[in-house]
């Protein structure tokens, strides 16, 4: 008995654990350092998302170009030619492409992260890693798609600058581009992980999200300038939408024209911080028990 106890004690003393997994007992235990520790895994997930997104498709990554081009053509026909909605002196193609690029990034981030628990239930049940890595990989991989669409927007701007229909204005306002992109990413991540946490119990929320994102676009100045609703009774409702200021600020940052209100932009950023903070808290709470409900 004594020898057995001594061997067990020696074994415990020589064991050196490299990773100790403990439950989250505190409400505000976000463990962001742990996420940074697994940054290599984040890179692997980004590569996985990019490889799987257009696997067994004919056009592959070219869909990143085809989609905004077709959407721009539709906007030109419906909103410009039929509805005659002005574009504040900006060439219609450039105006629509700027809104579509930023909106597309937000919508893909939101819909992608809203399926985090359901889509990754298999791998979550087999190995441990910070679950927040998965939605972060979606946010990061969608930056590739945004970069392609932004390049397409720049090409359209250069064309209209060459024809003399517009002037490319590069100044201090251009520095707002990364700030808007970060705010959009934060909103997409925050709202997405909240929805993902709720879908572990209410699966039909996924259908509602896809439907709601389509409707939300029309409550956001993607296909029309904010000045168009200046005298509308819906102006207050549109301004309360934090995405409205971000879309308009992005246009102002890229094109040098549009509505930029520091107060509204600050409101959107504050809204993003609050949503992201509470989203991470809810996400961390649900990840402990979601395997029992998924």
- Count up the domains in the chain and report the number: 1
Q: What angle do CA 143, 104, 63 make, to 5 degrees?
A: 80
Indicate whether 5 belongs to any domain: no
Token pair recorded at residue 116:
């985090």
Taking a C-beta distance cutoff of 8 angstroms, is the pair 275, 194 a contact? yes
Residues in the chain with pLDDT values less than 70: 1-32, 53-61, 120-122, 124-125, 128-129, 204, 288-294
Q: What is the pTM of this model?
A: 0.82
Of the candidates 73, 69, 255, 75, the residue with the CA atom closest to the CA atom of residue 166: 255
Of the candidates 89, 226, 230, 228, the residue with the CA atom closest to the CA atom of residue 169: 89
Indicate whether 203 belongs to any domain: yes
pLDDT of residue 3: 53
Residue with the two structure tokens 């498709």: 57
Indicate whether 13 belongs to any domain: no
Indicate whether 4 belongs to any domain: no
What is the crossing angle of helices 262-286 and 176-199, to 10°? 30
Range of the domain at 120: 33-292
Alpha-carbon gap, residue 182 to 189, rounded angstroms: 10
3-state SS class at 59 = coil
Indicate whether 196 belongs to any domain: yes
pLDDT in tens, 192-236: 888 888 887 777 677 788 888 888 888 899 989 888 887 788 888
Indicate whether 1 belongs to any domain: no
Indicate whether 248 belongs to any domain: yes
Indicate whether 23 belongs to any domain: no
């Amino acid at each position: 008995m004594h020898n057995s106890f001594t061997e067990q004690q020696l074994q415990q003393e020589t064991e050196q654990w490299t990773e100790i997994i403990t439950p989250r007992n505190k409400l505000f235990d976000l463990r962001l350092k742990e996420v940074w520790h697994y940054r290599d895994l984040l890179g692997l997930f980004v590569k996985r998302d990019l490889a799987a997104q257009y696997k067994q498709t004919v056009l592959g990554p070219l869909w990143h170009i085809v989609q905004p081009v077709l959407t721009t053509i539709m906007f030109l026909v419906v909103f410009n030619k039929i509805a005659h909605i002005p574009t504040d002196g900006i060439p219609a193609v450039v105006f629509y492409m700027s809104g579509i690029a930023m909106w597309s990034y937000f919508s893909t981030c939101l819909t992608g992260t809203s399926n985090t628990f359901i889509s990754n239930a298999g791998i979550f049940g087999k190995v441990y890693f910070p679950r927040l890595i998965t939605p972060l990989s979606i946010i990061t991989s969608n930056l590739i798609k945004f970069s392609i669409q932004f390049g397409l927007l720049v090409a359209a701007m250069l064309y209209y600058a060459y024809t003399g229909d517009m002037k490319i204005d590069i100044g201090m306002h251009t520095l707002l581009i990364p700030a808007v992109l970060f705010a959009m990413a934060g909103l997409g991540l925050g709202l997405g992980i909240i929805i993902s946490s709720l879908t572990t119990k209410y699966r039909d929320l996924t259908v509602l999200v896809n439907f709601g994102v389509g409707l939300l676009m029309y409550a956001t100045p993607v296909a029309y300038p904010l000045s168009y609703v200046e005298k509308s009774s819906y102006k207050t409702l549109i301004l309360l939408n934090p995405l409205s200021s971000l879309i308009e600020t992005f246009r102002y940052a890229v094109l040098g024209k549009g509505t930029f209100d520091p107060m509204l932009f600050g409101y959107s950023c504050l809204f993003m911080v609050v949503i992201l903070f509470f989203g991470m808290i809810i996400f961390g709470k649900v990840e402990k028990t979601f395997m029992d409900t998924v």
